[in-house]
Amino acid sequence: MSQIELTFPDGSVRSVASGTTGLEIAKGISEGLARKALGVKLGDKVLDLTRPLTESGTIKIITPSNDDPDALMLLRHSCSHVLAEAICDLFPGTKLAYGPAIEKGFYYDLMTPTPIQQSDFERIEKRMKEIIKEDRPFVRCEVSAEDGLKRTEGDKYKTDNAQRALAREGSDGTLSFYVTGEPGKNFEDLCAGPHVPSTGKLKNFKVLSMSGAYWHGDQNSDQLTRVYGTCFADKEGLETYLKFLEEAEKRDHRKIGKEMDLYHIEDHSPGMVFWHPKGTKMVNALKDYIRGKIDRRGYLEVITPEIVNKTLWIKSGHADKYNENMFKTLAGDVEMAVKPMNCPCHIQIFNTGLRSWRDLPMRLAEFGKCHRYEPAGTMHGLMRVRGFVQDDAHIFCTEDQIASEVADFCALVKEIYHDFGFDDIVVKFSTRPEKRVGSDEIWDKAEAALAEATKLAGLDYILNPGEGAFYGPKLEFTLKDSLGRDWQCGTIQVDFNLPQRLGAEYVGKDNQKHIPVMLHRAAVGSIERFLGILIEEFMGDFPLWLAPVQARVLPISEKFVDYAKQVEKELVNAGVRVEVDESNEKLGYKIRQCELQKIPYKIIVGEKEQAEGLIAVNKRKEGDKGQMTVAQFLEMTADDRKVVR
């Protein structure tokens, strides 16, 4: 019998017979390890414990751990099968589509004969607990393509999945099914695996939510129900995550946005934001903040059309890459496209007139409105929309200027994130994708230039192979919020390709024409998404300069409304975002409303204040600041009201 060489995490090497299972190896180490084991990892492939090992390589016995992605994947993928079995038991006639593990849990897309309701979760969980208590084994059955297709006959979704699996590169012409228990008697599902040894390993789970989904993500196909759940290695991990979800729900920007009357999204324009007056103030305040930052760095702000002849997008290469995600329209018989990004339009501005090396670097910035057709199931409040504004800019420069321009942008990003309290930043270096424009020589040059720039900027980064833009490599800046969630916001890309494709040129010191390099960059990315992040991070308690209403004047009775309006006028003239509560409610009620709407300053006026020309100031979370003049209030808040510090 042939032997294979296995290298363990401690560096030791063991020779075993080919066909030995992971369970046998675990038992050879200790019975305790074998009882705990969930699976085995050979090289980069996770396998069931009972799968024969036929190749040499590094090996890891996977045991329960909330810190091990392999362990969580096994637990969650297996738990998705238990969820599917429970739903099939409770809703006979259910058709199963697809049920993977995902980053924070798992889901299953399915079609039930009657709709699943949130109120059904309790009985679904009860049935899952019964299946788990039975501690049934996950049994893998491998069959020929012919037999496998017979098993799925009459099941639209599983037949489609089987055909796709057989057509996949590397397929050996067989299909695998997993039975939870005894073949022919217990629940069976088409699945590539792997799974934990038995259902008894899945005690720490929770059914979380549900949503609509489309088969293959195609909104013209069948609408399915997607049921989400999660599973952890122990009770503590599950409880910690459920507490995290509770906190995230409190911070949900959709809920807070409604309470604070900031915006809404409706079916008449799905994925497009209707900013209300208060939300618009925040949008403008954020734009002014960014303007202040980039003005000092020599950016020139421009405005370009939202609808452009589609030939420009074909020439730039965007139509080939983004055609399915572009909104199109007709101007007479001319096909136009609503811009999905701003870069080709900025090149059009650069191309007006003769440019010299003395004009470089030229930094063109725009709060450009872009539209992308995101699938219906992927949209989520402000976080993922179809219409959005980018704090976009394109820097036209020479090759020698790349490093300094990238380094300056990196400093800008860190400064902006720090201003909002985000100091935990991860940078990813994304290299050439499989589908791209330009020669390998150009890509070599672009990647080398970006790598050199990171040295000048003093950046540590994680390599992200194959995830660059189709025209150039990029750095992606991911910030971590107070709940530990990652948000990819800023980006900068080095592009040698689009300027050439769209005819950008400048006259160099040698009096010859040259093609500039273009750096695509955005510090916060989508204004909508960044505001969504800020709403959740601050839970509506915004810095004074960003707050939609900075102060509310509260007259203690109707008699003092005129004086309150006089105070309001003085504050408005000084640039304060202020409003008067003219309601007939008692002062206590008015104060509670200010707290609910998280107004930073309450300004109370009554008989004494009116007589002496004063205001009584109360600051949210800090309380009484005493009586003062409007001028003193303006002086006290001046620094906090400044957009750029």
Strand partners, 179: 139, 188
Which of 48, 363, 390, 598 is the catalytic position?
390
Q: Please say if 436 is a catalytic residue.
A: no
Q: What DSSP element (H or E) covers 391?
A: strand 387-397
Please report, to the nearest 10 degrees, the dihedral formed by the alpha carbons of residues 415, 416, 421, 424 taken in order: -70
Tell which residue, 232, 198, 285, has the closest CA to residue 106: 232
Which of 88, 191, 231, 343 is the catalytic position?
343
Q: Please say if 444 is a catalytic residue.
A: no
Q: Please say if 135 is a catalytic residue.
A: no
Tell which residue, 318, 314, 320, has the closest CA to residue 341: 318
Please report, to the nearest 10 degrees, the dihedral formed by the alpha carbons of residues 106, 430, 361, 309 taken in order: -60
Q: Where are the alpha helices (DSSP H) in 459-600?
A: 498-501, 527-538, 561-573, 587-596
* Tokens coding 134: 């039975």
Q: HSE on the CB side for 214, CA within 13 Å?
A: 10
* Pair 455, 443: CB distance under 8 Å: no
Provide the 8-state DSSP code for 434.
S
Q: Please say if 514 is a catalytic residue.
A: no
Q: What angle do CA 524, 528, 531 make, to 5 degrees?
A: 70
> How many other C-beta atoms can be found within 10 angstroms of the C-beta atom of residue 381?
19
Which of 120, 189, 392, 495 is the catalytic position?
392
DSSP result, 622-642: TEEEEEE-HHHHHHHHHHHH-
Give Cα 78 to chain centroid, integer Å.
26
Give Cα 509 to chain centroid, integer Å.
44
| Cβ burial, residue 200 (10 Å; 0-12/13-18/19+) | middle
**Rounded distance between C-alpha atoms, residue 321 and residue 417, angstroms:** 31
**Rounded distance between C-alpha atoms, residue 475 and residue 463, angstroms:** 9
> How many other C-beta atoms can be found within 10 angstroms of the C-beta atom of residue 469?
22
- Decide: helix, strand or coil at residue 541: coil
Contacts 24+ apart (CB under 8 A), 504-513: 504/347, 504/350, 504/351, 504/396, 505/355, 506/355, 506/356, 506/357, 506/359, 506/360, 506/396, 507/354, 507/355, 507/356, 507/357, 508/357, 508/398, 509/357
Q: Please say if 474 is a catalytic residue.
A: yes
**Rounded distance between C-alpha atoms, residue 449 and residue 443, angstroms:** 10
Token pair 């991070």 is at which residue? 537
Tell which residue, 542, 546, 580, 576, has the closest CA to residue 564: 580
- Decide: helix, strand or coil at residue 381: coil
Which of 339, 372, 386, 414 is the catalytic position?
372
Q: Where are the alpha helices (DSSP H) in 219-334?
A: 235-251, 253-259, 277-295, 310-316, 318-322
Number of H helices, E strands in the chain: 20, 33
Q: Please say if 394 is a catalytic residue.
A: yes
| Cβ burial, residue 128 (10 Å; 0-12/13-18/19+) | buried
Q: Please say if 288 is a catalytic residue.
A: no
Which of 371, 474, 529, 598 is the catalytic position?
474
Contacts with 85 (C-beta within 8 Å, 6 or more apart), sequence order: 127, 131, 180, 187
Which of 76, 281, 520, 598 is the catalytic position?
520
Tell which residue, 96, 4, 122, 97, has the closest CA to residue 52: 4
The end-to-end CA distance of the chain, in Å, is: 73
Q: Which of the residues are catalytic?
A: 343, 372, 390, 392, 394, 474, 520
